[in-house]
Structure formats: structure tokens, C-alpha cells
Structure 1
Amino acid sequence: MEDLKKQIAVIGYSGKFSGAGSLEEYSNVIMKGERAFMNFSRHTLISEGVPEGIIDQSDYIGLSGYLSDADKFDAKFFKFSNREAEIMDPQFRLFLQESYHALENSGYINKTNSIKCGVFASCGMALYSGKNRNTYFKNNVEHHTDVLESLDPVKVKLLNDKDYLATLLSYTLNLRGPGLTIQTACSSSLVALSTAVKSVRYGDCDIALAGGASIHAPRKCGYQYYEGSIYSPSGKCNPFSSESNGIVGGNGVGAVVLKRLDKALEDNDIIHGVIKGVSVNNDGAKKVSFTAPSIEGQQENIEKAIEDAGIFSDEIGYVEAHGTGTKMGDPIEITALTNAFFNKRKEKKPPILFSGICKG
């Protein structure tokens, strides 16, 4: 008999992404194989503050995933002043809104006083001062010295530094479970989800809110291609394809509400999905470079997740892969999946071959 106490139900969700204002719209974009990127005119890029000297360089790609309504926020509803809302990182604002919607979708938005709800969250860089300076603080707040001088520096930090994302959400929505901001670069939101699953399993909280946000500022901007970088020189992302040559930046925010499956069934919650197993590891130094993946590390992690789920790979009918669309990352991921699925089959048969079409 399956251990329902170990399995985790997804009882609520919400999100918005490039080209999609909801998860339902996002699903349609994927099913249609559409590219959710937007090309920006030179005039638009200049009006957004991108220097002409950068735009006119041959290695500048003037497109990215655009997220509409990222500048909208009901400050009064969440009990922030207009000035606080102005200086707050939009990643904080949107994650707060989508988290509220996810709790509302779960039916627990008005029950947080009687239960312990944990928060496991992540977001992109806020105070980074690199060449492209695609952050809200650098482009929209820092040069307003009159505003900064009128505010407590601690307040400015609390509303922009990603370390405070989870605890600010817990405070704003009166959530009394663990509040952890999880940062592991590209895998942050998934690791936040995995951490939330374990927290619910161990009883640290009754339900958990997990997710993340990544929003560039300015929102209408492109990127510079550097030889050997992960970004695509063509402005197209073609994972698991002979045409794969890199990624294209996007914007998005999403949150899910988790609860132990046995309790969700007992309380007649609407269950959108079930998480049977999770696993987190690291490649260590056994890879060609710091930013490169390894077959061994990925294979081990996939095998541990299958073991944690208590199933055989034969029972898995669909895999949503990382799919970076890079010539190094994709073959490594396919090899790791093939090896792991062969090792974890109930009946040892020839290795599985993965195939599929995906457009980013």
C-alpha cells in the first residue's frame, strides 16, 4: 500500500509568464509550440533606457520574454504605502500577488490563522550592478536620491534584497510556518519546491507555499551575446534539436500550495496533482567547469527521485526536462535520463530513447 503521508498534494496554484497571464494560458502556449518572445524596436529599447551604444552593437539581440502587467500592484490591499510599492522590487510585488492567488485557489486564504503555512520562495538578482544592469533597483530606484534620502535605508533593503522575500511574504499574509528564501541560481524554484515537500512531510507546517519570480527591469530589453555563453546568438531557443545554440531570457512568477495527500483527501481539498518523490544533490567538482552539468550528478539525482517516489521508471509516461537548448547541456541531460531510466526499470530492457519537439 502506498504511503499517503509521504505523498504531497498540490491543492492550489497561480502564475503568469511571458506571453501568458495565467497557467492555463501558459499551457496553451506550450501546446501550440509558440515562442513567447517579443522583438523590441530600437525606439522602444532606447525609451526603456538601454544605451544606444549597446543596442547598435552587432552582438545585441533585441528580444526577450515580456511579462505584461508586471508594473501593476494593489499597494493598499496589501497594506503598503504608495512610496513603499514604488521602491519594492517587482519580483516581490508579483510573487506576493500570485502567492495570494494560489492560497485563494486552494481555499485556504482565510484559514491561515488556524494553520501553519510555510513559505519557500526564490527570485532573481535585485542589487546586481553588472554591465547590462537589468535590475529594478539599479534602473528605477538608485538614481532617485531624493526618494532614498527620505526613507530608512533598512526599509529600502527589506523591499529589494532577495534574502527577505519569504519572510516579507509571511509577514504580509500572516503565515506562521517556516519562511525560507532558497537561492541556487537556475534551480532555485525547484529546490524551493523540494524543500517545501520535505517540510510538509516532516510536519513543520500544515501547508506550504512554494515558488519563485524572475523579472527583468527594464522589461522591454534584449541581451548581448558573448562567444561561448549560454545565451543564443540567434534569439531562438531550440531544446533537444540540432539547431540548439542557447537560451533566451524570460520573465515569470509562479506559486503552488502543498499539503500532505492523506490530509488533503480527508479534508476534501481539490487536488490538482501529486508529488510522489523529490531529490536534491550537487555535481561537486566532477564536471568540466563550474557552470557545466555532469552526467553522473544528474543521473544520480533522477535515480534518487524515482526511489523516493517508490516507483519504477517503467511507470513514468512523461518527462518535463530542463532543456537548456545548449549543445552541451541537452546531450548530457538525455544521457543522464536514459541511464537513470534503464537502471530503475522493473524489467531491465534496452535503454529508452527520449524524443520530442519543444519550442522556447
Structure 2
Amino acid sequence: MSAEIREDLDIAVVGLAGRFPGAENGTEFWRNLLMGVDGISRFTEEELLQAGHDIKKIGHKDFVPVNGVLEGANYFDAAFFGYSQAEAALLDPQTRLMMQCVWHALENAGIDPAKRGRNIGLFLGARSTVPWTMQAMLSEQVENVGGFLASQLANKDAMSTLISWKLGLEGPSFTLQTACSTSLVSVHQAVQSLLSGECDFAVAGGVSLLLPQQNGHTYQEGMLFSKDGKTRAFDAEATGSVFGSGLGAVVLRRVGEAIADNDPIWAILKGSAINNDGARKVGYTAPSVKGQADVIRTALQMAEVDAADVDFIECHGTATSLGDSIEFMALREIFNQSRSFGVNQCALGSVKTNIGHLDSAAGIAGFIKMVMAIRYGVIPPMLHFQSPNPQLGLEQSPFYINTCAEPWPAKSGKLRIGAVSSFGIGGTNAHIVLQQSIFASDISASAISRPERGGNGDKTYYFPFSAKNKASLALQLESVSHWLVQQSYLDLHALSHTLSQRHCFSCRIMFIADAKGDCRNLESDPWH
């Protein structure tokens, strides 16, 4: 496998954003993954009663009071996005969250949707929120906005078109639903739209908000939910998943255009595939070895990647006896076919062990994890893993599970390659193959300096910031300052380029810096 870029087939990941249990942004998410942080919350009886749960429910001997909580899920700047307070009160909470996430992903990519000639597609998914829709339609706010508009605002299926309307996105825009694989399928759909020329940029992702968030589940043997409140993927003591809330979005672009515009590239998407198990399984909710193996094989073929070149797989990893066994058998079927694959050469991971099962957002969480692992050259640890499920035969397989963060060096003459799986109840499977960007090959999590690529000590960089008011601008600068302190590597050119491409608001400030990182405020009129 060479590092050759296929301009007609490869897709660049040029931006991302996400919020997950225990992580308000991508930087915190990556830090938690490296440190092995369990983002799941455990609740007291008092907290559950205050959240409206029945005492009989929470007093049941098999009730497990845990859930992955998304902090600040009720915050929404309605005026920023052009919504009245009445409209915002009716808007599906998942749409509120996703609108902010899409905006942040576009900012991360340095894309101003208001600039003309930018054909941006939007591909999103969300979990079912029938109770919210019913509650919203009975609200007195319906009279203030009108019945028809209220029905759209309260409907999670209108999410993509509502966001496209408010942000001015003119490419294909639709909301999809394939259960747990929803958000990874959305990435595949975005790729297909880019390759067919329907759009020039594509934002893909998903959201899952489980209300009330102070919640738990009742364990039933052999079902989806964990007995001990831990998600132990591929472990001998696995009993199921913990569930939670979260969301993420990525910005994609045809690789040739990203290179031409000097876009910072997080990773290269080499190939993707989706399919359905059909009738190749014992029941509607059961997975299929053949279906999963087929989708993995197809994605590898599209990527023109041999299984032996894959170093790390972000698995679906639900920690259920049936689910883990089927997924492992499908992986073995594909990877054992590679003659050059030895024993214990490819790491397996599951982000569900950190943040729980995020339902419609599960796939995008795994995708963002893999993108970061590839970019920074570190394989995060699998949480709660003590000994392998003896039914899997892990020791004699091509796979292994690391319980500590480990360096992920590029193989001799080759770049880092990883893959992501997501499988939905109902049988829709998705698999995506990602490769390290050759333009970020010098970045690693172990870097202790902040080199300026190219080494031009006389280079001057401009860092513009803007917001709708001074208070927002001050918060933005504080956030950026906090982020800068945490960076072990900083590409000044990439940062300057991204900031200069963002949407420009009326309240502005600019900083300038040289290649050494010495920075000062540019005392001048607002920049243009």
C-alpha cells in the first residue's frame, strides 16, 4: 500500500467538532481517550427521583443508575442562529445541539458558509424523540409560531433542512436513520455525494440525546444493557453496554481541492461501504457474520488497501455476547485471508467503553476517535478490559487489545491506516478506511516543541478573531488561550489559514506572531 493520493477517489477530513460525555469539545475528548477516562455518570436515588423516575423502577434489584451525560445540553443561543424564543422552545433539542456542532465543525475547517460559490451538503441523523414532539405540539408556543412551522421545528427528521436553511447550506440536505449505524452511514452518504459532484463540501454526523439524562437501565440477561454499569467490549465479563448522549460532525472535501487550497487535513478517507444483513440472520435485531464481513471487504477494496496494512480498528464493540462474537468472526474472516498477516498485529478498540453507546451518534464518535488517533499517532487504550472472552480465540487471531495508550508509528515506507465499523439494529452495516495524511506526517502526540513547518524564521502570521459582541469575543479568546496552552505541537500556518477563512462578524480583533510564536495584539481598525 503506497501513500499515493487518488484525487478522483480520496476524501480529505478537513474539520471536525463533537461533544461527548465528559468532553465539551474534541480536544477534551482526545485527552480523555488517551488518559483512559470513563465519562459515564452514576446517580443517587435522590437525583433520579428529582428527574421524575418512579421509586419502584429505581428500587428494582436489577436497576443500574448510570448514563453518559452531555453537559450543557439545554444551552442554545437562539438569536445567534436567527430563532425567536418561541421557535427555540419548540425546536427539537437534538436539532439545537446539532446546529451548534455543524457551525463549530465548519469553523474548525475554516469554512464560511456565507461565502458565495460554496456548495455545502449536510448529512445528519438523530435518535427518535417522539415524546418531545408530542410535548412540543401541546405547548402554548405553537400558537405563537403557527402549527405547521411548529411541527417542523419539533420534528427531528427536519433537522438537516432546518440547519441548511439557517446556515445557508445549498448542497444536498437530508436526515437519515439506520439505528446505531446512522452517523457512520451519514459519512458514507456524504462521501458519495462529493464523489458524484453533488457538492463541494460535505458535513456529516449525528446526535443522540437521551432525556432525562439523569437516567439508568434495568439489566436483563442476554440483552443490550450492562449489568455492572461498565461497557466491557470483547471481555470475558462483558454483559452489555451503557448508553448515553453525545454528538459529532466532520467536514469532508475532495482531496485534490483540499490540497490546492492548503486546507489542514486531519486524515484521508480512502474507502467506505454500507450494506444490509437482509435475511442472513436469526432475527431482526440479530447481527450477521456474512453481512459484516461483506461490508468490510467492500470498503477495503474501495480503499485499495490490504487487510495486512490496517493497524487499528475502531469496532462497533457493544460488549454483548452475541454482538461481540459476530463482529469478531467477521473480522477474522476478512483478516485471515491476508497471507502476510501474523498473530496479534492489529489493535481493536471501542469508544463505547469510554462514553457509552450513543445510539445514532455512536458511529461518528468512533470515526472522530480514529481520525485523531491517525493524526497524532497514538492508539488509545480500551477501558474495562481484563481478560478476553474465551469464545473469541483472541490470542491466536490477527488482533490484540491494548489497555494502555501506545505509540502508533507509521510502518516502513507506509502511512498509518485504520478502519471504523458501525452496525445498526435492523442490519445496516457501515465500514470506513482512513489513512494518515502525508501533509501531517510530522505530527505526533509526543512532540514537545512547536516547530513552524518550513523553518522560515522571518514569516509573519495573522490571527483574526470575531464575534457578534464583545462578551462573546472575550469568551472566544479565553477558550482559544486555554486550548493553546494544551498544545504540544502548533502549526502556525494552519492556524492562521483556518482563522482567516472563518465568517467575519462585526466585533473584531487581530493578533500577529512570528515563526517563534512571539505574539502581540494588532492595535488597528477592524480587519476586512
> Would the TM-score normalized by the shorter structure come out above 0.5?
yes
Q: Secondary structure at the match of 2:327?
A: helix
**Other-structure match for 1:91:** 94
User: Which letter maps to 2:249?
Assistant: A
How far is 1:41 from its partner? 1.4
**Which of the residues 280, 292, 300 maps onto 1:298?**
292
Contact 2:342 2:398 in 1 (8 A): no
How far is 1:145 from its partner? 4.2
Contact 1:11 1:270 in 2 (8 A): yes
**Other-structure match for 1:38:** 41
Cα gap change, 1:298/1:44 in structure 2, threshold over 3 Å: closer, same or farther?
same
Distance 1:148 1:50 in 2: 28
**Other-structure match for 2:317:** 323
Larger Rg: 2
Cα deviation per residue 1:263-319 (whole Å; 9 max; x = unaligned)? 100111110111000000111111121111111111111010000001111111111
Aligned residues: 349
Distance 2:172 2:208 in 1: 22
Distance 1:224 1:288 in 2: 25
**Other-structure match for 1:80:** 83
**Other-structure match for 2:468:** none
User: Which letter maps to 2:83?
Assistant: F
**Which of the residues 234, 251, 255 maps onto 2:249?**
255
Contact 1:112 1:175 in 2 (8 A): no
**Other-structure match for 1:19:** 22
How far is 1:151 from its partner? 4.5
Q: TM (normalized to structure 2)?
A: 0.63
Distance 1:115 1:37 in 2: 39
How far is 1:223 from its partner? 2.0
Distance 2:96 2:5 in 1: 40
Distance 2:182 2:86 in 1: 29
Whether 1:356 and 2:405 are equivalent positions in the alignment is no
Extract unaligned runs of 5+ from structure 1: 129-135
**Other-structure match for 2:9:** 6
How far is 1:347 from its partner? 4.1
How far is 1:50 from its partner? 1.7
Distance 1:44 1:349 in 2: 50
Contact 1:238 1:358 in 2 (8 A): no
Higher strand proportion (structure 1 or 2): 2
Cα deviation per residue 1:198-239 (whole Å; 9 max; x = unaligned)? 111111000000001001111211122334321112211100
Q: CA RMSD in A?
A: 2.0
Whether 1:243 and 2:243 are equivalent positions in the alignment is no
Q: Secondary structure at the match of 1:248?
A: coil
Q: Secondary structure at the match of 2:16?
A: strand
Contact 2:105 2:251 in 1 (8 A): yes
**Other-structure match for 1:213:** 207
Distance 1:257 1:173 in 2: 15
Matched-pair identity in %: 36
Whether 1:57 and 2:60 are equivalent positions in the alignment is yes
Q: Comparing 80-89 with 151-160, which one deviates more in the overlay?
A: 151-160
How far is 1:348 from its partner? 7.2
**Other-structure match for 1:156:** 150
Q: Secondary structure at the match of 1:280?
A: strand
Distance 1:151 1:327 in 2: 49
Q: TM (normalized to structure 1)?
A: 0.92
User: Which letter maps to 2:108?
Assistant: N
Question: Stretches of 4+ moved more than 6 A in 1?
Answer: 348-351
**Other-structure match for 1:338:** 332
How far is 1:113 from its partner? 2.8
Q: Comparing 85-94 with 66-75, which one deviates more in the overlay?
A: 85-94
Cα deviation per residue 1:96-150 (whole Å; 9 max; x = unaligned)? 001000001111124543210000000111115xxxxxxx446x646x6433455
Distance 2:77 2:341 in 1: 56
Contact 1:341 1:352 in 2 (8 A): no
Q: Comparing 52-61 with 41-50, which one deviates more in the overlay?
A: 52-61
Contact 1:306 1:312 in 2 (8 A): yes
Whether 1:201 and 2:204 are equivalent positions in the alignment is no
Cα gap change, 1:341/1:112 in structure 2, threshold over 3 Å: closer, same or farther?
farther
**Other-structure match for 2:393:** none
Q: Secondary structure at the match of 1:277?
A: strand
User: Which is bigger in relative contact order (C-alpha 8 A, separation at least 6)?
Assistant: 1
Distance 1:112 1:315 in 2: 40
Whether 1:265 and 2:268 are equivalent positions in the alignment is no
Q: Comparing 48-57 with 328-337, which one deviates more in the overlay?
A: 48-57
**Other-structure match for 1:71:** 74
Q: Secondary structure at the match of 1:323?
A: coil
* 1:107-126 map, 5 Å: 107-126=110-129
Distance 2:179 2:16 in 1: 23
**Other-structure match for 1:232:** 226
**Other-structure match for 1:131:** none
Distance 1:148 1:115 in 2: 35
**Other-structure match for 1:132:** none
Q: Secondary structure at the match of 2:302?
A: helix
Distance 1:358 1:282 in 2: 32
Distance 2:105 2:287 in 1: 33
Cα gap change, 1:77/1:38 in structure 2, threshold over 3 Å: closer, same or farther?
same
